[in-house]
């Protein structure tokens, strides 16, 4: 069984050797870490520089591709312009251009900008040849002389729509309209209507063409059509091969893609290989999406990591507007990874040499430290013996003083604790008496307020009682007057009945008098009408008075009940006011007694507090004395222990030589 290792078991001489070896070992470890870190940083820097170099190469490839496209487009445009003008002049010299014959319906192909369908068109005379939507020997002759696709357009309306009526290529759809280009949104028909020539890229069917348009005029100088010479962009293989050949490194690729139209996304170059093929799903769609909005010669970048190849794909692409191509160059970071590997190998060799040198340094340091430790340890043996004797005497004296200080500290602490409890209790009683005195004062105030409120309530109830009596008297008076009104209405009713009877008699007499009594008959009828109204009014008054009499009778009963309740409330309020008065007198008599008790408790609390403060000061002094004695005792013990350890652990070999008996005194 192996014993547990501890630094305490190692002698001072060995510790000195270890102390000398540790800085040397730390320096070697730090140097190794620095070398490893520098190796990583240098490899990273080389890899970054290689990546930057490859990025620069791809950017130069894009610039070269754009310049080549400009040169190729300018060359093609110059050739087409020259051939188109020669063909147009030659045709004009052989008979010119004109529209002949009656208009006949022809089926035209509709598109997004034109309705198509049947349109009336005249035959087109071209250098003496009549062309009606089909083959033309003159067009075939121009194609044979120039070697490019030749197409004849006829203007079909005043708005400037041009239709293909003959072409040297069977791929060109006859009857289709001349439209705008997809990328530049330039309308060749607008330029032709202005009498201008137009050069550029045009989508014909499913193919892109680089071509040139020349307006054709009849003998009246009216624009009746156009002559077009063009080259399918797909057939420019030499230019495409030259762009694809400009790849970066052994694993790089160059790809040409259509950006617009029905051919969008189709590759003109061979399929990508290497890392370009492995990461195609990551870069193809972003490139196509960007191609819809990119401007001519605009460059963009994508960096893609391929886990399968453990390499970076450096993707750079630009837009070639004249051909509607997205020119993509992809480089593989592995093509220039040799420099990074060489730097890493060099740092690995440096690490091995550093480890060998560190081992040699550690060996030399260990030998030197061993010699120095012997020279340091020998003079310390005699000093430790003297320290042991002095430490023993100090420890004995400190133990005695610590015992006395501990006893005094315990007694003073107990007394201070008891006094503190007394002071705390007196403080609580003092606070309780203060709260009780304040509550008594508040109770007296509340009772006085209640007495005043009850007094006001009694006065209000008495006033209410008087008011109910007055109301009862008034209601009785109203009932009496209502009875008098009934008598009056009865008399009015009788008078109305008599008046009605008299008017009836008067009417009879007027009827007997004939014409002489006609006026009196009118008066009699009016008197009878007034009598009827008086009778009706008296009946209504009688009914109203009867209802008022019933209401007054009910009100008198309710007022009498209210008067009885008010009298009972007056009696209750007087009784409550007498009780509040007795409570106030008792509370006011107790207030001086509370004040006397409060003063006594306050004096007791002050005295207890003073005693507690004095005892705690004495306790603190005793504690400080005890702590000082304890610290002295602890120091003496530690000194004695340290000297013992120094003799036993560090100078073990020397002690055995000086004290063969093994004593550590």
Whether the pLDDT of residue 173 is over 80: the answer is yes
Residue 407: closest CA among 582, 664, 623: 623
Query: Which pLDDT does position 175 carry in this prediction?
Result: 92
Whether the pLDDT of residue 1 is over 50: the answer is no
Query: Which pLDDT does position 121 carry in this prediction?
Result: 92
Specify the range with the lowest mean pLDDT, choosing from 131-140, 224-233, 299-308, 365-374. 365-374
Q: Is residue 213 helix, strand or coil?
A: strand
Query: Which pLDDT does position 455 carry in this prediction?
Result: 73
Whether the pLDDT of residue 258 is over 70: the answer is yes
Residues whose CB is less than 8 angstroms from the CB of residue 222 and which lie 6 or more positions away in sequence, other chains included = none
Report residue 407 as tokens: 């006893």
Cβ atoms of residues 186 and 200 within 8 Å: yes
Positive or negative: CA dihedral 140, 142, 144, 146: negative
**Range with the largest mean pLDDT of 21-30, 56-65, 109-118, 514-523:** 109-118
Specify the range with the lowest mean pLDDT, choosing from 154-163, 360-369, 457-466. 457-466
Report residue 400's pLDDT band, with 50, 70 and 90 as the boundaries.
Answer: low
pLDDT tens digits, one per residue of 211-235: 899 999 998 899 999 999 998 887 7
pLDDT tens digits, one per residue of 502-542: 778 877 877 888 777 777 778 778 787 887 877 787 777 77
Instruction: Give one DSSP letter per residue of 248-293, joined into a string.
Output: -SSS-EEEEEE-SSTTTT-BSSPPP-HHHHHTHHHHHHHHHHHHTT
CB count within 10 Å of CB 277 equals 12
Say which CATH topology domain 94-235 has.
Answer: Beta-Lactamase (3.30.450)
Alpha carbons 251 and 372: distance in angstroms, whole number: 65
Query: Which pLDDT does position 428 carry in this prediction?
Result: 72
Alpha carbons 86 and 93: distance in angstroms, whole number: 11
**Range with the largest mean pLDDT of 68-82, 338-352, 619-633, 634-648:** 68-82
Mean pLDDT of 8-29: 71
Considering the chain, what percentage of its residues have pLDDT values greater than 90?
11
Report residue 166's pLDDT band, with 50, 70 and 90 as the boundaries.
Answer: very high
Whether the pLDDT of residue 354 is over 80: the answer is no
Whether the pLDDT of residue 95 is over 60: the answer is yes
Whether the pLDDT of residue 662 is over 60: the answer is no
pLDDT tens digits, one per residue of 573-614: 677 777 767 766 776 666 676 667 667 667 766 766 776 676
CA neighbours closer than 13 Å in the CB half-sphere of residue 563: 14
Report residue 16's pLDDT band, with 50, 70 and 90 as the boundaries.
Answer: confident
Mean pLDDT of 335-354: 67
Whether the pLDDT of residue 174 is over 90: the answer is yes
Q: Is residue 314 helix, strand or coil?
A: strand
Mean pLDDT of 60-70: 79
Query: Which pLDDT does position 131 carry in this prediction?
Result: 92
Whether the pLDDT of residue 165 is over 90: the answer is yes
Cβ atoms of residues 256 and 271 within 8 Å: no
Give the chain's mean pLDDT.
76
Domain 382-650 has CATH 1.10.287.950: yes
Domain ranges of the chain: 8-64+340-378, 94-235, 382-650
Report residue 40's pLDDT band, with 50, 70 and 90 as the boundaries.
Answer: low
Backbone angles phi, psi at 125, to 5 degrees: -90, 120
Q: Output the CA–CA distances (angstroms, integers) from residue 219 to 186, 222, 352, 433, in the order listed.
A: 29, 7, 95, 131
Vertex 43: Cα angle to 37 and 46 (nearest 5) = 140
Whether the pLDDT of residue 76 is over 70: the answer is yes
Mean pLDDT of 18-24: 74
Mean pLDDT of 151-176: 92
Which helix (H) or strand (E) is 15 found in, with range?
A: helix 12-93
CB count within 10 Å of CB 347 equals 17
Sheet harboring 117-126: ordered strands across?
A: 97-108, 117-126, 129-131
């Amino acid at each position: 069984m192996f014993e547990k290792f501890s630094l305490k078991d190692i002698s001072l001489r060995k510790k000195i050797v270890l102390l000398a070896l540790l800085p040397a070992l730390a320096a070697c470890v730090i140097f190794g870490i620095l070398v490893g870190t520098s190796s990583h940083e240098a490899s990273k820097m080389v890899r970054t520089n290689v990546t930057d170099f490859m990025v620069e190469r791809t950017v130069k490839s894009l610039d070269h591709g754009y310049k080549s496209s400009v040169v190729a487009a300018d060359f093609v445009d110059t050739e087409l312009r020259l051939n188109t003008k020669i063909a147009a002049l030659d045709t004009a010299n052989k008979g010119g251009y004109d529209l002949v014959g009656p208009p006949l319906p022809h089926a035209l192909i509709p598109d997004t900008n034109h309705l198509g369908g049947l349109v009336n068109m005249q035959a087109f005379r071209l250098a003496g040849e009549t062309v009606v939507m089909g083959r033309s020997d003159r067009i075939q002759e121009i194609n044979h002389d120039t070697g490019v696709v030749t197409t004849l357009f006829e203007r079909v309306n005043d708005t400037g729509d041009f239709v293909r009526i003959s072409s040297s290529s069977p791929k060109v759809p006859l009857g289709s309209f001349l439209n705008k280009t997809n990328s530049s949104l330039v309308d060749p028909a607008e330029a032709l209507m202005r009498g201008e020539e137009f050069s550029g890229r045009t989508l014909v069917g499913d193919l892109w063409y680089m071509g040139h348009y020349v307006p054709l005029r009849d003998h009246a100088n009216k624009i009746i059509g156009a002559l077009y010479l063009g080259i399918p962009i797909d057939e420019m293989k030499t230019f495409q091969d030259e762009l694809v050949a400009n790849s970066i490194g052994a694993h790089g690729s160059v790809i040409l893609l259509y950006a617009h139209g029905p051919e969008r996304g189709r590759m003109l170059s061979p399929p990508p290989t290497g890392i370009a093929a492995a990461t195609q799903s990551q870069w193809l769609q972003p490139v196509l999406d960007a191609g819809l909005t990119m401007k001519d010669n605009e460059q963009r970048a994508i960096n893609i990591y391929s886990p399968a190849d453990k390499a970076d794909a450096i993707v750079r692409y630009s837009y070639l507007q004249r051909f509607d191509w997205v020119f993509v160059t992809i480089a593989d970071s592995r093509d220039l990874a040799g420099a990074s590997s060489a730097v890493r190998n060099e740092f690995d060799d440096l690490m091995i040499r550093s480890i060998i040198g560190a081992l040699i340094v550690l060996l030399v340091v260990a030998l030197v430290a061993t010699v120095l430790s012997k020279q340091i340890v020998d003079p310390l043996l005699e000093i430790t013996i003297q320290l042991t004797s002095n430490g023993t005497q100090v420890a004995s004296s400190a133990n005695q003083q610590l015992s006395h200080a501990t006893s005094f500290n315990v007694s003073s602490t107990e007394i201070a604790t008891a006094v503190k409890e007394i002071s705390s209790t007196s403080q609580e009683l003092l606070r309780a008496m203060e709260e009780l005195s304040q509550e008594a004062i508040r109770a007296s105030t509340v009772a006085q307020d209640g007495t005043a409120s009850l007094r006001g309530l009694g006065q209000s109830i008495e006033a209410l009682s008087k008011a109910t009596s007055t109301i009862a008297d008034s209601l009785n008076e109203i009932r009496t007057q209502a009875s008098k009104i009934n008598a009056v209405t009865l008399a009015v009713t009788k008078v109305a009945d008599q008046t009605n009877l008299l008017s009836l008699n008067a009417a009879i007499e007027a009827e007997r008098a004939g014409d002489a009594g006609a006026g009196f008959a009118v008066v009699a009828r009016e008197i009878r009408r007034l009598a009827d109204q008086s009778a009706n009014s008296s009946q209504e008054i009688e009914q109203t008075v009867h209802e008022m009499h019933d209401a007054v009778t009910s009100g008198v009963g309710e007022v009498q009940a209210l008067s009885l309740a008010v009298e009972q409330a007056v009696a209750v309020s007087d009784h409550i006011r007498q009780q509040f008065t007795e409570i106030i007198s008792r509370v006011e008599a107790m207030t001086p007694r509370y004040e006397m008790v409060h003063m006594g408790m306050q004096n007791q609390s002050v005295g207890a507090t003073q005693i507690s403060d004095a005892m705690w000061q004495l306790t603190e002094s005793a504690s400080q004395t005890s702590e000082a004695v304890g610290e002295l005792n602890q120091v003496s013990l530690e000194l004695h222990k340290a000297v013992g350890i120094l003799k036993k652990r560090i100078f073990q070999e020397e002690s055995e030589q000086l004290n063969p008996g093994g004593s550590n005194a």
